[in-house]
């Protein structure tokens, strides 16, 4: 999909920047011992959020919200399936007396919506798995970001280590300060281009049609909601969004190429000794950890936002579906009462004289036999329908009460999740 392609491109761009950032940070570190100033600011920002603990809290909140949405989906699928099964059984039981429209016909639109939501949740679950995998792969690296800055300073340069001063002197004399500053500016420009593209991606995906424009168009056409002009407008808007994304992609690529060219020139002017390589390795690790944190922070925030939005959609959808089920229950009870009342009516007396009147040739014995047969059939059918209708009515009353209780419990759970999300947002989670 477009979203997946952009995210893959962003990850690749971050990787390309990450290959050059350590050398740049190493040159800039000559101005002060320990962690370079710019990297120090980035680490401080991560620590202010709560480092690895912050990510885990985000993931846990996201999982709670996801489980709630998934539970609602499964509950609605079960309720709709049960309604259809009962309707089919009653239709088979009472035959032509079961006169209402089939539940499967009326619930078709609900099933289509459920299919759409299930597909979206499946894609979101795949994205969650990727986040969990990255958290596991980079856990040790991310935990290093929680160390105090003085400890990180010592890890980078070995404050007080004579070799640190020698490395600083070599860096200052062999590398142009102006080139280092220009490379830093190019890196910042590349990061700004990536941020702008991310904003465009979010804007593009904010439209529901962006996820699957063909399906959206077909659905609108099916309901007669879209004319030729409207279709052309929707496609044009979608194409305009794609063109904007392509333009951002070109700007990102151009910025990355400039960074790579400047970084190559910067590296060519550097002298590397054993200590410098060690420091470069530590800085590379810290830069990579910050990059991973920022990526996962964005992913987890997007996950919480998605599941919160899905929760709101599901609450509205669940309300409509439950209203439908309640109306079907009421209709079912009324029809069962009607069938029971009809079955309880006495069988009209069979008049032998009336039967014999039009046919003088009929014998009295034949008339009595016909009357007995009719009375027997009527009595069997009537008692059967009345008892079945009574049993179904009792079962429906119990199930309606259970559904009301379940709905109250679900509403209480939704309120608790909303409280958790609000508390998380207030605390920066």
Q: What is the DSSP string of 335-355?
A: HHHHHHHHHHSPPPPP-HHHH
**How many Å apart are CA 419 and CA 313, to the nearest integer?**
17
Using the predicted structure, report yes or no on whether residue 173 has a pLDDT greater than 60: no
- Residue 182: predicted pLDDT: 74
- Residue 400: predicted pLDDT: 59
**How many Å apart are CA 335 and CA 385, to the nearest integer?**
12
Q: Which tokens in the block code for residue 398? A: 């119990």
How far does CA 82 lie from the centroid of its chain?
A: 26
Q: Structural domain boundaries of the chain?
A: 32-175+270-320
**How many Å apart are CA 375 and CA 383, to the nearest integer?**
12
> What value, to the nearest 5°, has the Cα angle with vertex 53 and ends 47 and 58?
110
- Residue 121: predicted pLDDT: 92
Instruction: Summarize the confidence of residues 328-357 as an average pLDDT.
Output: 71
| 212 vs 22: which has the higher pLDDT | 22
- Is residue 100 within 8 Å of residue 304, measured between CB atoms? no
**How many Å apart are CA 83 and CA 400, to the nearest integer?**
12
Q: Which CATH code fits 32-175+270-320?
A: 1.20.140.50
- Residue 409: predicted pLDDT: 64
In this structure, the number of other CB atoms found within 10 A of the CB of residue 86 comes to: 18
- Residue 69: predicted pLDDT: 93
Instruction: Report pLDDT digits (tens) over 203-248.
Output: 777 664 445 556 666 666 666 655 666 666 666 777 777 777 778 7
**Confidence grade of residue 316 (pLDDT, cut at 50, 70, 90):** very high
Lowest mean pLDDT of 24-28, 267-271, 276-280, 362-366, name the range.
362-366
**How many Å apart are CA 41 and CA 20, to the nearest integer?**
18
- Residue 281: predicted pLDDT: 80
- Rg of the chain (C-alpha set): 36
Using the predicted structure, report yes or no on whether residue 118 has a pLDDT greater than 90: yes
**Confidence grade of residue 406 (pLDDT, cut at 50, 70, 90):** low
Q: What is the mean pLDDT of the chain?
A: 74
Question: Which of 38-52, 148-162, 313-327, 395-409: highest mean pLDDT?
Answer: 313-327
Give the rounded percent of residues in the chain with a pLDDT score beyond 90.
Answer: 20
| 343 vs 211: which has the higher pLDDT | 343
Instruction: Summarize the confidence of residues 76-92 as an average pLDDT.
Output: 92
Using the predicted structure, report yes or no on whether residue 117 has a pLDDT greater than 90: yes
Instruction: Report pLDDT digits (tens) over 248-289.
Output: 788 888 887 887 777 776 666 555 556 667 777 888 889 889
């Amino acid at each position: 999909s477009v979203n997946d392609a952009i995210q893959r491109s962003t990850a690749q761009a971050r990787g390309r920047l990450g290959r050059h950032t350590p050398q740049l940070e190493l040159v800039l570190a000559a101005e002060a011992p320990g962690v370079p100033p710019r990297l120090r600011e980035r680490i401080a920002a991560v620590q202010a959020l709560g480092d690895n603990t912050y990510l885990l809290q985000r993931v846990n909140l996201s999982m709670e919200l996801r489980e709630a949405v998934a539970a609602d989906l499964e509950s609605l699928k079960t309720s709709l399936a049960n309604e259809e099964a009962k309707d089919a059984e009653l239709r088979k039981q009472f035959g032509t007396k079961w006169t209402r429209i089939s539940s499967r016909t009326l619930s078709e639109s609900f099933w289509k919506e459920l299919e759409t939501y299930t597909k979206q949740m499946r894609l979101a679950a795949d994205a969650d798995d990727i986040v969990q995998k990255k958290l596991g792969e980079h856990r040790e690296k991310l935990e290093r970001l929680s160390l105090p800055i003085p400890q990180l300073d010592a890890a980078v340069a070995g404050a007080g280590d004579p070799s640190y001063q020698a490395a600083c002197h070599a860096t200052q004399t062999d590398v142009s300060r102006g080139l280092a500053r220009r490379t830093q500016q190019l890196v910042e420009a590349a990061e700004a281009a990536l941020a702008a593209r991310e904003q465009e991606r979010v804007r593009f995906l904010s439209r529901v049609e962006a996820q699957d424009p063909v399906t959206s168009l077909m659905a609108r056409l099916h309901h007669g909601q879209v004319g030729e002009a409207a279709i052309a407008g929707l496609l044009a808007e979608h194409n305009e969004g794609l063109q904007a994304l392509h333009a951002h992609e070109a700007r990102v690529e151009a910025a990355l190429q400039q960074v790579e060219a400047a970084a190559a020139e910067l590296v060519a002017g550097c002298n590397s000794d054993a200590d410098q390589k060690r420091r470069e390795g530590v800085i590379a690790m810290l830069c990579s950890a910050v990059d991973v944190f920022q990526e996962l922070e964005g992913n987890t925030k997007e996950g919480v936002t998605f599941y919160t939005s899905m929760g709101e959609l599901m609450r509205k959808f669940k309300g409509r579906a439950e209203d439908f089920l309640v109306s079907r229950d009421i209709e079912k009870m009324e029809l069962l009462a009607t069938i029971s009342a009809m079955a309880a009516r006495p069988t009209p007396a069979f008049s032998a004289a009336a039967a014999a009147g039009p046919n003088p040739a009929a014998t009295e014995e034949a008339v009595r036999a016909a009357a007995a047969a009719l009375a027997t059939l009527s009595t069997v059918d009537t008692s059967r329908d009345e008892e079945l209708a009574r049993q179904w009515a009792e079962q429906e009353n119990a199930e309606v009460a259970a559904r009301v209780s379940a709905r109250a419990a679900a509403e209480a759970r939704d309120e608790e999740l909303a409280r958790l999300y609000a508390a998380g947002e207030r605390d920066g989670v």
